Chain A
């Protein structure tokens, strides 16, 4: 709990939801009979409605990007380093919206929600959702909020994929796109990691074909394992070495058994078990599938520049030197394709030690780049 809320925080915030009652036909061909979307907003919309920024979150994130829900909160929102008064995404200049997506377990309609046709939780009967579906629902949210055009749409990792989809699908609805630590499609290695995570969940005896809600249980071991694997891939070798080295827990001697010896084991087990309390295993399955399916170039013979041809927004692409899950090379593919498509693109490659997780951290050059770019976005919005 923060003794006092820092002055550069958006402060106390609350989540909102909006219900859409029209059926939504999804990319997979199935139809969702209405849905709920959870979101938060920070700052104020100006009279011209020209200062709105949409934040797209990543796999395990949600719409609580900044501030505190109560004074009892141990931690602020997941992007507190970036969003707030005087911060790069400045809540005194922008009206900031962070939207959750369908398939999530954090307040929007997802596999843990009740299927109106059966009165039971959807489980694996929930239709497969894609990045494009998410963007279409976020566009419905923009309509609901009266925002015809975003000053910028910003996201990291899976959020960056949503930003790209926004720019391709609704070219006139955003002026700037900020794509951070993302990729134009997952590599085989990346899909492989996702598959191991899914198998960990689905082979857990408590999975019950995704109907674990009815059994009053959940695939704890599987989901915890999935999170542990994820964590390893989000950090760099160097960052793990610096953080844990070969330190043993509390400096104790080896146990010569299979209990926790090393700090890194303790850390992973803690992260895994904590995640289980916060996240639904089925949502994890659906969201990782959406990641795997994202491939805008596929419909254009693999030519990303053709896929990017409709884009009108100016794009800023950012990558991190030690990110091996979404490496700088993948960001450069995005930059190269935007250049070939003749689009306005900037690219910053940030030296940062913490791998993929760097996009969530207060890396000085990263904050500088975001500040510089968004200052210009703000000035355009005023003009």
Chain B
């Protein structure tokens, strides 16, 4: 078993051992598998794509096949400790509603997304004049599943406007590591942003 991807490793650190987790857009279940094995977490994955559902089942994970655009109605209030949405926010139809739903279902929400404010994205759009294609945003405009891209500053504003408290934030570069430049100017040098949120002001 190879080491967990660095962004997933950050998420794993934020999750309490033995807690209950809902991993939205769980893919093949890499994170959930790790959390169950290493941290004794009980949890469910939610995934839409057929082959990923099969891969997660093969790993022995409980996975629920569902479109996140249909909402989280079937998941009861406060039914898990943490809801994770990893690199999926930008691809859903109702990101704000999903975010609020996550914080209804879980005590805590962990959201990660590619930062559209990264200098490469800004350069490609602002100077070169074309839609950005970067490591974190590898698709072309015509084949991208990403319909709601945002910057770190945008996300902060969304949280403020909706009473979402940011408990912790980590920003990583294209190799999914942090450095001094990112800590100084995260919205310019960060490629992936990771947020740990709760309801209420903070």
Q: Which residues of A contact B (CB under 8 A)?
A: 314, 316, 332, 335-336, 339-340, 344-349, 351, 365, 368-369, 372-373, 375-376
Contacts and interface: CB of A to CB of B under 8 A. Distances in A.
A376 B74 contact: no
Nearest to B57: A372
B54 interface: yes
Contacts of B75: 339
A339 B74 contact: yes
Interface residues of B, number: 20
Contact of B65 (A339, A348, A372): A348
A347 B65 contact: yes
B143 interface: no
B66 A372 contact: no
Contact of A340 (B61, B63, B64, B76): B76
28 contacts: A316-B57, A335-B64, A335-B74, A339-B44, A339-B64, A339-B75, A339-B79, A340-B79, A344-B42, A345-B44, A345-B64, A346-B61, A346-B64, A347-B63, A347-B64, A348-B53, A348-B57, A348-B65, A349-B66, A351-B50, A365-B50, A365-B54, A368-B50, A369-B53, A369-B54, A372-B55, A376-B59, A376-B60
Contacts of A365: 50, 54
B95 interface: no
Contact of B66 (A340, A347, A351, A373): A347
> Which applies to chain A's interface (DSSP): helix, strand, loop or mixed?
helix
B175 interface: no
Contacts of A346: 57, 61-64
Given A344-B62, A369-B57, 11 more contacts: A314-B62, A332-B74, A336-B74, A340-B76, A340-B79, A348-B53, A351-B50, A368-B54, A369-B53, A373-B57, A376-B59
Interface in B51-85: 53-55, 57-66, 74-76, 79
Contacts of B65: 347-349
A39 to B, nearest CB: 29
Contacts of A373: 57
Interface of B: 42, 44, 50, 53-55, 57-66, 74-76, 79
A372 B54 contact: yes
A83 B57 CA distance: 19
Nearest to B74: A336
A345 B46 CA distance: 11
B147 to A, nearest CB: 22
Contacts of B50: 351, 365, 368
B57 A376 contact: yes
B82 to A, nearest CB: 16
Given A349-B65, A365-B50, A369-B53, A375 B58 contact: yes
Question: What are the 9 closest A-B residue pairs judged by CB atoms, nearest first?
Answer: A336-B74, A372-B57, A372-B58, A347-B64, A376-B60, A372-B54, A368-B54, A346-B62, A344-B62
A347 B57 CA distance: 10
Contacts of B64: 335, 339, 345-347
Contacts of A368: 50, 54
Nearest to B48: A349
A332 B66 CA distance: 10
B189 to A, nearest CB: 40
B45 to A, nearest CB: 9
Contacts of B57: 316, 346, 348, 369, 372-373, 376
A368 B54 CA distance: 7
A311 to B, nearest CB: 13
Contacts of B62: 314, 344-346
Q: Chain B CB within 10 Å — which of A345, A346, A351, A368 has the most?
A: A346
B131 to A, nearest CB: 31
B83 to A, nearest CB: 13
A351 B79 CA distance: 29
Contacts of A344: 42, 62
A316 B58 CA distance: 12
Contacts of B58: 372, 375-376
A332 B72 CA distance: 12
A351 B65 CA distance: 12
A369 B171 CA distance: 37
Nearest to A315: B62
Contacts of B74: 332, 335-336, 339
Nearest to B67: A349
A382 B54 CA distance: 21
A226 to B, nearest CB: 34
A58 to B, nearest CB: 23
Nearest to B50: A365
